[in-house]
């Protein structure tokens, strides 16, 4: 058998699928795309997670767009973390040109311009449906991990959550939590010591500094109501296509702690909310994280451990997680080992360190008799990538240097007017952007203090020490009227995320 025929047989057999699949392009043989050697991704194994890596300018984000839009076309909803703002074009059909026609003729598949149904989401002031969560819904375990607290400090957080539950004080935002933190070390100190244990002012001060750091990255806008329901991420349009929920993150690139906090909470809530799925013909949801190194950049060891645990477990719920980054080693080894699909664009060898990294990267891919992987990694062109996936039996497919198809949708960003059109037509934007003003822990404590002031006015003059304690609490300026009432019976589940026992209520985010 000739080498070329052997190559075609290897690819066609390796990427053969009995079920539905996504065509990524055709495999390269001696530098040319071979039409008979199509590289296909089985829908059945897309919940096994993935990696898209490569140097700047090699086409990673476009590859992410190709995979995501084809998933939606196959009825798989996706969530896209858009940190650079260039994924919004997926909402509009692409436009053919000479280069695209040439590319698809070489691959042997037609080019069909199509848009993908889109919802825009936001954690900040960007245009879109606002994602929020209450402090209560985090629970003491997860909230402590986010703040990177030690065991003693975490114990104080647990006391505050327990006190809030026992006294029906809703913890809705960070100001509610800070108000209670101030209360348990001030006016309520004696009551706390008798019922819950001692709370040291030094530890409370450390907790407060951690909260202020989180606030400095914009977390104040993130905590509150209305809590996002993860069921809104798994919707289909009227034609059976999955909806692409695009989370616009262009203004939090320099806020990695907020980003990693959000990601962990989202994945934890999805894991808790979704039932066990077993082996499905296609995933329920796939999450794409562009600039993925930001998740891990400043995350604490405790936070990393939780992210790694979720990645290992969440695929059983029918959810796939896809990381897009420059270097595979931006991803911790424990996470990297869980990624079934690997799409590797070109790497650049400018230094000795780069050459060592390329050699190490090449060792992560299946050995191929048709390619010298370390050499190929530096010679791939734009729109070409090394691909290996898992077949329907869970076995890694042969390594395929792939000439990738073009996206069906627009490459590039939408105009503000185009984004506004989509947001204005959104059902969930109206739902989550509604302003809600309910009584929460701070307001309740403020009422208590006012009541104490009224009592003091008709009592004999208080000692200076008693006045000082009340004045300090009364002068507290932490007020923000948002939130929701806390249920009397709360059972916090995985990672401390809120679960509501005995109530037929939709699971809410976090």
pLDDT digits (tens, 9 = 90+) for 400-409: 999 999 999 9
Three-state SS string over 231-258 comes to HHHCCECCCCCECEEEEECCCCCCCHHH
Biggest CA-to-CA distance, the chain: 105
Same domain for 68 and 10, yes or no, is yes
Tell me: do 350 and 482 sit in the same domain. Answer: no
- Average pLDDT estimate for 93-122: 96
Q: Give the model's confidence band at 85: pLDDT under 50 very low, under 70 low, under 90 confident, else very high.
A: confident
Q: How far apart are the first and last CA of the chain?
A: 58
pLDDT (0 to 100) of residue 293: 82
Please, which contacts does 211-218 make with residues 24 or more away whose CB atoms are closer than 8 Å?
Answer: 211/147, 211/174, 211/177, 211/178, 213/257, 214/146, 214/147, 214/174, 214/257, 214/258, 214/261, 215/174, 217/252, 217/255, 217/257, 217/258, 218/123, 218/124, 218/252, 218/255, 218/258
pLDDT digits (tens, 9 = 90+) for 327-374: 888 888 889 999 999 999 999 888 888 888 888 888 888 899 999 999
Q: Is residue 153 pLDDT above 80, yes or no?
A: yes
In sign, the C-alpha dihedral spanning 159, 162, 167, 169 is positive
Residue 117 in any domain: the answer is yes
Average pLDDT over residues 36-49: 96
- Give yes or no for a contact between 129 and 428, defined as CB atoms under 8 angstroms apart: yes
490, two tokens: 């709360």
Model pLDDT, residue 105: 96
8 Å CB contact between 148 and 300? yes
The per-residue pLDDT for 411 is 94
User: What's the rounded mean pLDDT across residues 473-483?
Assistant: 33
> How much is the mean pLDDT over the chain?
84
Asked whether the beta carbons of 361 and 377 are under 8 A apart, the reply is yes
Whether 461 maps to a domain, the answer reads no
Peptide bond into 53 cis (omega under 30): no
Is residue 148 scored above 70 in pLDDT?
yes
> Both 268 and 157 in a single domain?
no
Q: Tell me the backbone φ, ψ of residue 118, rounded to 5 degrees.
A: -130, 145
- Look at residue 483 and tell me whether its pLDDT is greater than 80: no
Of 285 and 468, the structure prediction assigns the larger pLDDT to 285
Q: CB–CB of 8/37 below 8 Å?
A: yes
Does residue 274 belong to any structural domain of this protein? Answer: yes
Helix, strand, coil in percent for the chain, rounding step 5: 45, 15, 40
Residue 506 pLDDT more than 60? no
Sign of CA dihedral 440, 441, 443, 448: positive
Pair 100, 155 in one domain: no
Give the end of a domain, one of 431, 452, 475.
431
Residue 455: pLDDT band with limits 50, 70, 90: low
pLDDT at position 454, please?
A: 58
Q: What is the count of structural domains for the chain?
A: 2
Write the pLDDT tens digit of every residue in 234-276. 999 999 999 999 998 877 767 777 777 777 778 888 988 999 9
Asked if residue 208 and residue 123 are part of one domain, the reply reads no
Supply the range of the domain harboring residue 83. 3-131+228-431
Q: What CATH number is given to the structural domain containing 246? A: 3.40.50.300
Residue at 508 is within a domain? no
Kindly indicate the confidence band of residue 493, based on its pLDDT and cuts at 50, 70 and 90: very low
Contacts of 314 (CB under 8 A, 6+ apart): 267, 270, 271, 321
Would residue 441 count as lying in a domain? no
Collect all residues with Cβ–Cβ distance below 8 Å to 272 and sequence separation of at least 6: 493, 494, 497, 499, 507
Q: In the numeric block, which tokens belong to residue 468?
A: 């000082």
pLDDT, position 501: 31
Residues 204 and 322 in one domain: no
Do 203 and 241 form a contact (C-beta atoms < 8 A)?
no
Q: Which residues contact 505 (CB under 8 A, 6 or more apart)?
A: none
Most confident of 95-104, 178-187, 303-312: 95-104
Domain match, 272 and 391 both? yes
State yes or no: pLDDT of 507 exceeds 50.
no
Q: Taking the alpha carbons of 314, 318, 324, 327 in that order, is the dihedral positive or negative?
A: positive
Asked if the model's pLDDT at residue 495 lies above 60, the reply is no
- For 91, counting Cβ atoms within 10 Å of its Cβ (0-12 exposed, 13-18 middle, 19+ buried), the class is buried
Do 103 and 145 lie in one domain? The reply is no
Residue 114 lies in a domain: yes
pLDDT confidence of residue 496: 43
């Amino acid at each position: 058998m000739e080498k070329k025929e052997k190559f075609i047989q290897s690819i066609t057999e390796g990427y053969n699928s009995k079920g539905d699949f996504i065509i990524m392009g055709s495999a390269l043989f001696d530098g040319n795309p071979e039409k008979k050697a199509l590289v296909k991704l089985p829908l059945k194994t897309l919940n096994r997670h993935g990696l898209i890596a490569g140097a700047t300018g090699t086409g990673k984000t476009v590859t992410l767009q190709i995979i995501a839009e084809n998933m939606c076309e196959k009825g798989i909803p996706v969530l896209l973390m858009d940190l650079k703002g260039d994924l919004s074009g997926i909402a509009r059909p692409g436009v053919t040109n000479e280069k695209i026609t040439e590319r698809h003729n070489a691959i042997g598949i037609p080019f069909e311009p199509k848009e993908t149904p889109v919802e825009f989401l936001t954690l900040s002031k960007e245009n879109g449906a606002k994602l929020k969560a209450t402090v209560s819904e985090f629970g003491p375990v997860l909230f402590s991990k986010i703040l990177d607290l030690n065991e003693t400090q975490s114990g104080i957080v647990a006391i505050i959550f327990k006190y809030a539950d026992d006294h029906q004080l809703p913890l809705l935002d960070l100001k509610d939590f800070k108000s209670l933190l101030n209360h348990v070390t001030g006016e309520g100190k004696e009551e706390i010591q008798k019922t819950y244990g001692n709370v040291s002012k030094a530890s409370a001060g450390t907790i407060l500094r951690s909260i202020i750091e989180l606030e400095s990255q914009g977390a104040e806008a993130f905590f509150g109501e209305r809590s996002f329901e993860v069921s809104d991420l798994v919707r289909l349009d009227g034609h059976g296509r999955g909806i692409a929920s695009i989370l616009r993150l262009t203004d939090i690139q320099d806020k990695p702690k907020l980003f990693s906090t959000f990601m962990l909470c989202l994945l934890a809530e999805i894991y808790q909310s979704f039932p066990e799925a077993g082996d499905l013909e296609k995933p329920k949801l796939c999450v794409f994280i562009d600039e993925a190194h930001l998740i891990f950049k400043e995350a604490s060891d405790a936070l990393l451990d939780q992210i790694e645990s979720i990645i290992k477990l969440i695929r059983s719920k029918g959810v796939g997680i896809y990381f897009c980054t420059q270097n595979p080693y931006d991803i911790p080894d424990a996470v990297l080992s869980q990624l079934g699909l690997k799409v590797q664009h070109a790497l650049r060898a400018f230094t000795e360190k780069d050459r060592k990294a390329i050699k190490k990267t090449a060792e992560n891919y299946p050995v191929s008799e048709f390619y010298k992987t370390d050499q190929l990694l530096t010679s791939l062109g734009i729109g070409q990538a090394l691909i290996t996936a898992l077949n329907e039996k869970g076995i890694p497919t042969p390594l395929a240097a792939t000439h990738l198809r073009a996206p069906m949708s627009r490459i590039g960003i939408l105009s503000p007017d185009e984004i506004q059109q989509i947001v204005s037509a959104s059902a969930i934007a109206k739902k989550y952007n509604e302003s809600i003003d309910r009584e929460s822990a701070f307001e309740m404590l403020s009422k208590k203090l006012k009541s104490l002031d009224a009592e003091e006015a008709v009592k004999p003059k208080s000692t200076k020490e008693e006045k000082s304690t009340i004045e300090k609490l009364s002068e507290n300026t932490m007020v923000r009227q948002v939130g929701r009432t806390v249920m009397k019976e709360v059972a916090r589940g995985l990672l401390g995320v809120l679960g509501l026992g005995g109530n037929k209520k939709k699971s809410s985010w976090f």
